[in-house]
Structure 1
Amino acid sequence: MQFASRRQCNLLIQNSTRDGFFLESLFLYSSLVKSSLHGDHLTFPFVFKACAHLPSLRDGRKVHSHVVSLGFHWDVFVQTSLVDMYSKCSSLSDARRVFDDMPTRSVVSWNSIISAYSKELHAREAFCLFNQMRSVYALPTSSTLVGLLSGCSKSTSALQLGLSVHCHGIKIGFDSHSRLSNSIMHMYVRFNLMDDALTILNSSKNRSSVAYTTVIAGYAKLGDCSNAFSLFNQMRSKQTVLDSIVFINLASSCGLLANSLLLSSVLSLLIRSGLNRGPDVSASVVNMYAKCGDITSARKVFDSAMDKNILLWTSMIGGYVRVGLPGASLDLLKDMVGAGLPPNRVTILIALSACASIGSLSIGEQIVNHINSLELSSDLQIQTSMIHMYCKCGSLKKAEEIFNAVPRKDLTALSSMINCYASHGKGEAALALFKEMTNDKGIKLDAVVFTDTLYACSHGGFVEEGLECFRRMREEFGIEASKEHYSCMVDLLSRAGDFDSALGVIHRAPIKLRSRLWTPFLSGLRDHNSLLHANIVSNKFLEVGSESAENHVLLAILSASEGKWKEAGKFRILMDKRGLNKEAGWSRIELGS
């Protein structure tokens, strides 16, 4: 492409960047360079803006080299756009290097570097820069404070920093800056301080749709449907412009409450408002219906969507997994691929979960082929899901291969491998891996890894190791025992025939958990044919009752084995009176592929 002048090309680059055609801007700049012309202090800020929005660090660095060779790197506008480009391309070190070399810094320059640190969650460094800015008498603007607030993650220290920004906002009169006001509300919502967020909303002179949506989203996240809908009604009464995000947040609230009827009402309002168009909105509705357990309505929404993007397909595929229909999930994945739409990272993670649920190694291998073709095999979360999938599909060898290939193993990957060893009866290998984890000071153990380790001890018969693990969990790591931990301990001791100790664990557990701990105990009694303890438990059950059909069946079996047919019948009758139904047993085997 040839240009009559540099000015003509500059105008074209500026216009294409303003209109959001960022690739076209880079193409025009490349054509300019090939025409033996070059940009100037007016061109480069727009080119860097295009690089930032793509984001393309590679192109940004190329243009930066042109800036230096042409001598424009001392221009304050060019330098500021460079700081912004590097920060948006997640190259904080380059952004800081350019900023430190600036002889003169504008307020926009300060705002760019402060925002860069905040977005990377370096709140302390962002506030140090903010204090430096004030020390050189550069007056902060509302944009400065908005940038600071973006780095206030969910920690006590970050909240204190956020509160100081709020105080500074009061000094500059944040009421007149809606973007700052909304950011402060968003901070309070992030920390679940809904009263503070609502106070700011109520004191605002001009309550925008964004302001209302921010607070409604906070209530929706907490499952406070009443306050969410109350604000929504207030929003409608004031004739505030509605958008699809408001409805998505209301739908999210319905999903947390698992209220399908209320969700249908929200969807009706969404349709009447004419905001139901677009696959992204449909995807949110599908997600919420799945959370409510209404997969039929979710599928109707999916089928009625004219344009189905990857997000909508993934939502429906994930919905089937959520309601326990992994086979339908994988069938839909096959339809999606057949429609010419390749899966993305999230789709792959859901598919691996579905495959693990049905234990199909052949389908799992097909999914792994997709992973390789999408070059996702080095993704840590994908690798962890692959370990879990191979474990559930019975291929310990493949799970070990994936695990050994992970260069930097995090807690989730290590925990998955411990669970895999436990499931395959490799208790010693599981305990060895757990010991390796406890010796690594860089890994902070959580409740899940202790559950997996206790499970390994239970299935491997490692009583002493299990008792020691349970003790260390509470005393050394300060992790409170959950139902899963107590259940593993009862199972471990019952399998070993130590029923007195198992009863001791049940009695030491919180009262609300005890009724769920009888199943592993009763299974141990059945395996050891321990009738003495069975009589004790039978009397206890007749006194307090149980919500588990399995426990009633186990007690009936134990009574029958002792020849107490009357007691056995009594437990069967109790099941009927309490409306309990034992779920039919089933198994799955894969034939061929």
Structure 2
Amino acid sequence: MRKSPSPRSLPTWNSMIRSSVTTRRFLESLFIYSSMRRAGLCGDNFTIPLVAKACAKLNCLRDGSKVHAHSILIGCEWDVFVQTSLVDMYSKCSAAVEARRMFDAMPIRNLVSWNCMISSYGRRETLVNTSFELLGRMRALGLKPNLSTFLGLVSGCGGSSGWVLPQGSSLHGYRIKLGLDAELCFSNSLIGMYMNCGSVDAALALFESMEERSAVSWTSVIGGYARAGDCSNALKSFNEMRRCDDDVVGLDTVSYLNLISACALSGSSSQVGAAHALTVKSGCGGQSCITNFLLNSYSRCQDLSSAEMVFNWTPEKDVCSWSSMIVGYAQNGCPSQALSTFGKMLSVGTQPNEVTITTMLSACADFGALYVGQKIDAYVKATSKKLESDRRVQTSLIHMYCRCGCVEKAREIFHSARCKDLAMWTCMISGYAAHGMGREALDLYVEMKRQGKIDVDALVFTGILSACGHSGLIEEGLAFFRSMQEDLHIDPSLEHHLCLVDMLCRGGQLDAALEAIQRMPSQVQTRGWSPFLSACRSHVPGSHLKEFGGAGTLSAAHHMQLQSCGDYVLVAQTYASLGRWKDATAIRRLMEEKGFVKQPGWSRRMESSICEARPPNTQGVSDQGAVPL
């Protein structure tokens, strides 16, 4: 078709777009659609659903909105298939409000339309109740739900919090009432839901009642144990599966992956080694996915030597193998090894993927390696348009540049991104916050809310509160803290409380900060004392020190539930700044008795080896001079 000299007709363009979507080349399908528009063709009600599906798969809300606008221009916005595809696109792009607006505007809704909207709410645990309300409305209109309806509902009831378990249990009742108990995929989904909600007994009861079990049934149970970190029961179920004589229930790669996952979540490297031995014995130990999973599992157990052994023994290393090893180094605090491995990967001609790039950029951010991060940025732009437009890569670049102090470059990447998701907005807001650019962070939040297509979450407010704290915007920060709870019904997390305390301390409002600490849940109050004590050293500390030091040094340490070396050092330094050297000495002694050791400081240089700078053996410093304790 590309070589054809004659102009292409609309069915030809639709066929090309359909071919790209069917073969999962979604970005290519958008390019074909753009070429079709430039050729003077507008598309029809067959074009729009295909392009909307591509936007949904790419999670590209901006282009999806343009497709929606174009459907209105060409007059096919009232086609039920077009509307259903747009509802599906908005829901998969996390724009639940737009999806519901589109759904409510539909004059005719078929079962597929209802299923799309129910699945949209079902994807988010917090909106499960709304999805069940839609189910009730659908049944009241005389539409009978099918298997797809219930599968969409089950996915939302499988959250780890467990509060949606009653709704999920009602689906179990529907399974029997509507004669869907013979549907194996529905039963397997229910088992997964029960396991995710921590209701192991209900999952096992359903599993035992099943007349027919597939490999998915067994792996759902094993996977549930794996997510719960119950290695012993995962191994027990795995061995029972091995003893099963049914040809349908055969051990497959997924079974071994679930077993390895269970062992990794237990944190035991020896258990991972046992699972490793089983994979070798079964003959599937050389499979790429098994090898890569073992690399990740050993790294998760902080056993880098075993991970390196598996990596070195892998004869043909693909991009996932290299990426897994790089991720292992980065997650275990070895960014220099991650950078070195990335260089070796490029030297052997292996092209990195988005996981490799995002991990490397994270390592550069942790390492402060701006020069290397810039080289990776240039490499991405020069070699891969797909990587350059990948939202995760763009978000990682923003994070890296912000961490390395290049806020303007981060802002440039942010504004050039075509499809911005919540993670990207949050990353840019947090970047502004870290550099004291509070007004810019608040303006960006207002812009995100103005667009109205992305639902904010708790993490956004962590960045907003941090921005207010670093910029002295106390009143604005308090207003956001109240709005988060009252308007958006988001319960404050530990990070929110800490940001609030830090903001009040930076603003010198120590009384309000002390009240905020006392309102925090008792089990996390200890984290709030560090910013408070730091502020006490800068703002007339005497009166506030009585809150925790009036009854004696040891009672102060007990009252604040000091749990880290840094907390003890901070209390000792606070006493030292007041001239209470005996109390400072007692805190230091208590720190040693509890086994806390202050690690020496160190610094890195990219050009040479790591240098350590150890502090002198001086315990207290006051404004009048250093006094050894």
| TM-score > 0.5, shorter chain as reference | yes
RMSD over equivalenced CA pairs, Å: 4.3
Shift in Å, 1:568? 1.5
The partner residue of 1:364 within 370, 373, 389 is 373
Question: Partner letter of residue 421 of structure 1?
Answer: Y
* Superposition deviation, residue 529 in structure 1: 5.4
TM-score of the superposed pair, with normalisation by structure 2 = 0.69
Partner of 1:213: 219
Aligned partner of 2:42 in structure 1 is: none
Other-structure match for 1:282: 291
Alignment CA distance shift 1:148-1:461 (3 Å): closer
Q: Residue deviations 1:362-408, cap 9 Å, x none?
A: 11112112322211222222222111111011111101111121244
Q: Deviations over 1:241-260 (max 9, x none)?
A: 43332221122122223222
CA distance in 2, matches of 1:86, 1:181: 34
1:184 is displaced (CA, Å) by 5.5
Question: Does residue 511 of the first structure (1) align with residue 522 of the second (2)?
Answer: yes
Equivalent of residue 153 in structure 1, options 155, 173, 176: 155
**2:230 and 2:262 in contact (8 A); partners too:** yes
**Separation (CA, whole Å) in 2 of partners of 1:567 and 1:91:** 62
Letter in 2 for 1:280: C
Structure 1 residues 381 and 158: alpha-carbon distance in aligned structure 2, compared to 1, 3 A threshold: farther
Map of 1:242 onto structure 2:
251
| Residue type of the alignment partner of 2:287 | G
**Equivalences for residues 234-273 of structure 1 within 5 A:** 234-238=240-244, 241-273=250-282
Change (3 A) 1:127 1:309: farther
Q: Is the 8 A contact 2:295 2:311 kept in 1?
A: yes
Runs of 4+ in 1 over 6 A off after TM superposition: 48-53, 56-59, 85-98, 113-120
Contact 1:145 1:165 in 2 (8 A): no
Distance in 1, Cα, partners of 2:117 & 2:260 = 28
Equivalenced residue count is 501
Q: CA deviation at 1:213?
A: 1.4
Pairwise mapping of residues 3-402 of structure 1 onto structure 2 (< 5 A)? 54-55=23-24, 121=119, 145=147, 149=151, 152-155=154-157, 163=172, 166-167=175-176, 171=179, 174=182, 182=188, 185-186=191-192, 194-238=200-244, 241-372=250-381, 373-375=383-385, 376-402=387-413
Deviation at 1:118, TM superposition (A): 7.1
Whether the 8 Å CA contact 1:454–1:489 is kept in 2: the answer is: yes
TM-aligned CA deviation for residue 464 of structure 1: 1.9
Contact kept in structure 2, 1:287 and 1:316, CA below 8 Å? yes
* Structure 1 residue 559 corresponds to structure 2 residue 570: no
For residue 542 of structure 1, report the CA deviation from its aligned partner: 3.5
What CA distance in whole angstroms lies between the structure 1 residues aligned with 2:378 and 2:600? 35
Residue 388 of structure 2: SS of its match in structure 1? coil
* Bigger relative contact order (CA 8 A; separation at least 6): 2
Equivalent position amino acid for 1:317 in 2: I
Provide the rounded CA distance (Å) in 2 between the counterparts of 1:441 and 1:262.
Answer: 48
Distance change in 2, residues 1:411/1:86 (3 Å) = closer
Deviation of 1:210 (Å): 3.3
Do 1:356 and 1:389's aligned partners in 2 also have CA atoms closer than 8 Å?
Answer: yes
Of 297-306 and 409-418, deviating more is 409-418
For residue 179 of structure 1, report the CA deviation from its aligned partner. 6.0
Question: 1:499, CA displacement in angstroms?
Answer: 1.8
* 1:313-355 deviation digits (Å, cap 9, x = unpaired): 1111111111122221121111111111100122111111111
1:584 to 591, 600, 616: 600
Cα distance change of structure 1 residues 319 and 243 upon mapping to structure 2, 3 Å threshold: same
Establish whether residue 541 from structure 1 lines up as the match of residue 556 from structure 2: yes
Letter matched to residue 355 of structure 1: C
**What secondary structure is seen at the aligned counterpart in 1 of 2:517?**
helix
Aligned to 1:457: 468
Provide the rounded CA distance (Å) in 2 between the counterparts of 1:119 and 1:204: 30
Q: Which structure 1 residue ranges, 5 or more long, are not aligned?
A: 1-26, 34-47, 63-84, 101-112
The SS at the match of 1:212 is helix
Q: Which amino acid aligns with 1:577?
A: E
1:81 maps to which residue?
none
Contact 1:220 1:253 in 2 (8 A): yes
Comparing 528-537 and 181-190, the one that deviates more: 181-190
Match of 2:490 among 471, 479, 503: 479
AA partner of residue 225 (structure 1)? C
Q: Deviations over 1:259-279 (max 9, x none)?
A: 222222222222222221112
Secondary structure of residue in 1 paired with 2:155? coil
Amino acid at match of 1:223: G
